[in-house]
Structure 1
Amino acid sequence: MRVGEQSTDPIDQILGEVPVPASLTPEDVRLAVRAVVVHAAEEWPAGPKCRNDGAAYPCRLHRWGRRVLEAHGLNERQIDALVRHGNPFVHVPFPFVLSGPSAGRPSAAQSPRGPAGRVAAPPVRPALRPGGTGRPVAPPATRPRWPRAS
């Protein structure tokens, strides 16, 4: 069954589709991302089923999540990329703008304080040992930076 087709599941026929909110909030977008990732397809001998609830794919929540993300401005390819990514907590900007900064936040060039110029860091010289041997000392080891879950 494709995403746009009508479901033949009796529960879907009784309950109908989950309505998309008239005005989307950041919480709606977060929930929609979770819905499409958690309720992704899983192959079974009888055909694809929802990974979360075992209903025929796409289930009600997956369809709702896709409709919300489409209303938010994402296209099919971007939604499929979210599903393939597999992280239900990935951040989708609100409001979603395809190019450039969002209208609500000014860029560095539009900042009320003027353009933010970058200052180059001074060149780093190797530290000398206290004994005065003149040999460079290795910088102290830093903790590894692990990737954050958005």
Structure 2
Amino acid sequence: MRVGEQSTDPIDQVLGEVPVPAQLSPEDVRLAVRAVVVHAAEEWPAGPLCRNDGATYPCRLHRWGRRVLAAHGLNERQIDALVRHGNPFVHVPFPFTVNSSAPARTPAAYPPRTPAGHPVRGQAAARVVAPGARPAVRPAGPGRPVAPPATAPRWPRAS
């Protein structure tokens, strides 16, 4: 059965569809993500069933979650990726926009590179810090300390 088709499950026919809220809140989006991940399909000899409640796939909550996420702005591929990811607590930004995950970077923000695409050695690349963030302060020194090589085995060998 496809996501948009009418269900033949008796419970679905009695209870009907779960309504989508008129105004979506961040809590609605979190619950929708949890619904589509927890109520994902599981293959059985009789066909796909809901992994959580054993109803015919897609169950009421899975369909509701897909409708809420679609109303939030996600497309089918993004919703399927959430289901494949398998984490019911994954964060979907609110409000969702396609390019909301990271601010735009200018070419000056990238470190200098060689023609092969590797960072240039010997030149200190300036770190760009987001506005309002504190730059990380690291202690001065040549780098991380390296332990000397062991001359004898640390544990006796089993013989």
Per the normalisation by structure 2, the TM-score is: 0.68
How many positions carry a matched residue from both structures?
Answer: 122
Structure 1 runs (4+) greater than 2 angstroms displaced: 115-127
The residue that corresponds to 2:37 in the other structure is 37
User: Matched residues in 1 for 2:100 and 2:37: separation?
Assistant: 26
Q: What is the identity, as a one-letter code, of the residue corresponding to 2:75?
A: N
Q: Is the 8 A contact 1:39 1:61 kept in 2?
A: yes
> Identity over aligned residues, as a percent?
79
Question: What is the aligned partner in structure 2 of residue 116 from structure 1?
Answer: 131
Give the greater-gyration-radius structure (CA). 2
User: Is the Cα–Cα contact under 8 Å of residues 34 and 88 in structure 1 kept in the other structure?
Assistant: yes
How far residue 125 of structure 1 moved from its aligned partner, in angstroms, is 2.4
What's the counterpart of residue 3 of structure 1? 3
Query: In terms of mean alpha carbon deviation, does 92-101 or 10-19 score higher?
Result: 92-101
1:70-126: per-residue Cα shift (whole Å, max 9, x none)?
Answer: 000000000000000000000000000111469xxxx699xxxxx839969689423
Question: TM-score normalised to the size of structure 1?
Answer: 0.71
Is 2:74 aligned against 1:74?
Answer: yes
Sort the Cα spacing of 1:32 and 1:138 in 2 relative to 1 into closer, same or farther, 3 A.
same
Which AA in structure 2 matches 1:91? H
Distance 1:30 1:122 in 2: 37
Q: CA deviation at 1:57?
A: 0.1
CA–CA separation in structure 1 for the residues paired with 2:37 and 2:56: 16
- The whole-number CA distance in structure 1 between the counterparts of 2:60 and 2:94 is 24
State the Cα distance separating 1:66 from its structure 2 match: 0.1
Q: For the structure 1 residues 18 and 119, does the alpha-carbon distance in structure 2 shift closer, same or farther, using more than 3 Å as the test?
A: closer
Q: What is the correspondence of 1:1-150 to structure 2 with a 5 Å cutoff?
A: 1-100=1-100, 116=131, 124-126=140-142, 138=145
Over 3 Å counting, the alpha-carbon distance change for 1:122 and 1:49 in structure 2 is closer
**Could you list the per-position Cα deviations for residues 12-65 of structure 1 after superposition, in whole angstroms to 9, with x for gaps in the alignment?**
001000000000000000000000000000000000000000000000000000
Name the CA distance, whole Å, in 1 between partners of 2:142 and 2:32.
Answer: 51
Distance in 2 (alpha carbons) for counterparts of 1:86 and 1:62: 14
Computed over aligned residues only, the root mean square deviation of the Cα atoms, in angstroms, reads: 3.0
Quote the residue 2:121 is aligned against: none
Identify if the C-alpha distance between structure 1 residues 101 and 38 changes in structure 2 by more than 3 Å, giving closer, same or farther: closer
Are the counterparts in 2 of residues 108 and 116 from structure 1 also a CA contact under 8 Å? no
Between 1:31-40 and 1:92-101, the stretch displaced more is 92-101
CA distance in structure 2 between the partners assigned to 1:73 and 1:13 by the alignment: 28
